[in-house]
Amino acid sequence: MGKYKPINKDSLILVVDDFPTMRKIVKSVLKQLGYQNIVEAEDGQLALNTLGVNPAIEFIVSDWNMPNMTGIELLKSVRAHKDERIKGLPFLMVTAEADKDNIVEAVKSGVSNYIVKPFNAATMKEKIDKIFVK
Task: Report whether 40 contacts 27 (CB < 8 A).
Answer: yes
12-119 under CATH 3.40.640.10, yes or no: no
The pLDDT of residue 113 is: 96
pLDDT, the chain, mean: 94
In whole angstroms, give the CA distance from residue 98 to residue 17. 17
Predicted TM-score of the model (pTM): 0.95
The pLDDT of residue 133 is: 75
Question: 101-104: long-range contacts (C-beta < 8 A, 24 or more apart)?
Answer: 102/64, 102/72
Query: Strand, coil or helix: what is 73?
Result: helix
Beta carbons within 10 angstroms of residue 78's beta carbon: 23
The pLDDT of residue 3 is: 82
pLDDT at 11 over 80: yes
**In this predicted model, what pLDDT tens digit does every residue of 99-115 receive, in sequence order?**
889 999 999 999 999 99
**In this predicted model, what pLDDT tens digit does every residue of 51-101 receive, in sequence order?**
999 999 999 999 999 999 999 999 999 999 999 999 999 999 998 878 889
pLDDT at 1 over 60: no
Domain range list for the chain? 12-119
Residue 53's H or E segment, with its range, is helix 44-53
What is the band of 22 on the pLDDT scale with cuts at 50, 70, 90?
A: very high
The pLDDT of residue 98 is: 82
pLDDT at 2 over 80: no
pLDDT at 134 over 80: no
In whole angstroms, give the CA distance from residue 63 to residue 17. 5
